[in-house]
């Protein structure tokens, strides 16, 4: 009988993309899984602004293991100042690069990162270079619509959220505890 092959482990790059709901939600599920194993997690949100939502309240309960950074100014397509949005995005990206290279977490979530190259706020090649050179044991999750072919090619895991039906189309607004 041949010996069993050893299982390989490595830090994975995962992408949650597509037009459907659930990209951030899926990444938060991975965060809670890692936290449940006592692993340190860092979440960096590039677009979402300072409005109050449930994830922020929950994050306070995990303050010893979870670093949660909301660094955007809100949804860019509703912006009152795209230059300020771009400056915030660049600051968040510099912080993300530093966080990745410091390698103090098991999981780093870059929520809504895909919007930055899409809106020409950050060069995609720089993002790809940083993600390709991340520490070998670090898991990184990137969320957002518009994941490019090159980002998908670099990733170990890619899930596309497909919108099939959404309550908003029936006139049901976002609800506390479900959408925020």
Catalytic status, residue 21: yes
**Options 25, 58, 148, 159, the catalytic residue:** 25
**Options 16, 17, 24, 46, the catalytic residue:** 24
- Strand ordering across the sheet containing 41-45: 66-70, 41-45, 107-111, 139-143, 13-17, 157-160
Is 27 in contact with 109 (CB distance < 8 Å)? Answer: yes
**Options 17, 46, 112, 114, the catalytic residue:** 112
Angstrom distance (rounded) from CA 144 to CA 32: 19
Say whether 21 sits in a helix, a strand or coil: coil
Catalytic status, residue 103: no
DSSP assigned state of 16:
E
Environment class of 134 (CB within 10 Å of its CB; exposed 0-12, middle 13-18, buried 19+): middle
**Options 58, 75, 103, 124, the catalytic residue:** 75
**Options 10, 32, 33, 178, the catalytic residue:** 33
CB neighbourhood size of 53 (10 A): 16
**Options 10, 19, 102, 150, the catalytic residue:** 19
Catalytic status, residue 24: yes
The catalytic residue positions are 19, 21, 23-25, 33, 75, 77, 112
């Amino acid at each position: 009988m041949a010996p069993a092959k050893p299982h390989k482990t490595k830090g994975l790059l995962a992408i949650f993309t597509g037009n459907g709901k659930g990209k951030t939600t899926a990444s938060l599920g991975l965060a809670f899984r890692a936290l449940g194993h006592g692993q340190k997690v860092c979440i960096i949100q590039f677009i979402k602004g300072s409005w109050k939502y449930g994830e922020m309240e929950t994050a306070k309960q995990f303050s010893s293991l979870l670093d949660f950074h909301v660094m955007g100014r809100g949804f860019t397509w509703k912006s009152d100042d795209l230059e300020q949005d771009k400056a915030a995005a660049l600051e968040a990206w510099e912080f993300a690069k530093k966080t990745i290279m410091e390698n103090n977490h098991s999981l780093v979530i870059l929520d809504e990162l895909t919007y930055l190259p899409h809106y020409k706020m950050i060069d995609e090649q720089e993002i790809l270079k940083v993600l390709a050179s991340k520490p070998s044991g670090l898991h990184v999750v990137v969320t957002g619509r518009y994941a490019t072919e090159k980002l998908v090619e670099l990733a170990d895991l890619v899930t596309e959220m497909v919108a099939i039906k959404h309550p908003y189309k029936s006139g049901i607004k976002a609800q506390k505890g479900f959408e925020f």
